Amino acid sequence: MNQKVTIQGYEGSFHQVAARHFYGKNVEVIPCDTFREVVKIGSDKKLSDGAVMAIENSIAGSILPNYNLIQKTKLQVIGEVYLSISQNLLANPGVKLEDIKEVHSHPMAILQCLDYLEKYHWKLVESEDTALSAKQVHQHKSKHVAAIASKLAANLYDLNVLSPDIHTQKNNITRFLVMSPQVGKAELKIDGANKASIYFQTDHSRGILSKVLAKIANGNVNLSKLQSMPIPGSNFKYGFYADLEFDQQKQIEKVLEEVKGLTNNMKVFGLYKKGKVVKG
């Protein structure tokens, strides 16, 4: 039976590309309009097997609201995908570059491709989603409209790739978290786990954060990411999201126990295998 997971955006979006890299090409996706809907449906075992959600980008940085979303759910992080984003100019079969008058896509995708687009005198039209733009070009059988989207969108909507990899910044990587609903208090055990994502708060006494970081370093665990976020309702007090990399599970178990004694409200989102960069 194929896995069914929630994604933000339409079929053909980069979220679906990431889901396919993790689960295989036969994974079913449940398209959602918002990230809040992604985690809500993804948390319900009756509706899905989990969620795939973008958490940070190598150019734009962390998607901060998504950190708060995963903290409030019972989703467990079971993996990650680092997707190298490839933006492509797509059009209906038979359409040539000289036929194009308009290019439609998400404003961020258009911005990422401006160096290429400015070579032409096309009208640039912003839409809510790259994959939706591709779908609409297909549905309207447009002869003078192209879309910027993924190669997966081209395959799904029977479009030709007129120009591949038209984005300016070639090192554009988005990190996606793969999450599964927790059943009760039981956690899924991931074979070969070598990375953990956690959240913690401190009492903000002098030097307390440096003590936490020292415990991590002394335990031979690598702190690969530390993200501060205001604690809702507080007077500019902060909590911290951290990614920790380790060689053996006993290392991380010891470090987490020691860190727990120095912090408040610590939550482990999951222990999982580090992801590798894959082509979008």
Domain coordinates of the chain in residue numbers? Answer: 4-84+172-182, 88-163, 195-272
Q: Please, what CATH class does the domain formed by 88-163 belong to? A: alpha beta
Residues in the chain, pLDDT under 70: 183-187
Q: Please, what CATH class does the domain formed by 195-272 belong to? A: alpha beta
Q: What pLDDT shows up at residue 235?
A: 82
Q: One fold for both 4-84+172-182 and 195-272?
A: no
Residue 84 phi/psi, 5° resolution?
-75, 110
Q: What is the CATH number of domain 4-84+172-182?
A: 3.40.190.10
Burial of 185 from C-beta contacts in 10 A (0-12 / 13-18 / 19+): exposed
- Full-prediction pTM beyond 0.85? yes
Q: What pLDDT shows up at residue 186?
A: 57
Q: What pLDDT shows up at residue 79?
A: 97
Q: What pLDDT shows up at residue 92?
A: 98
Task: Please tell me the number of Cα atoms within 13 Å of 62 on its side-chain side.
Answer: 14
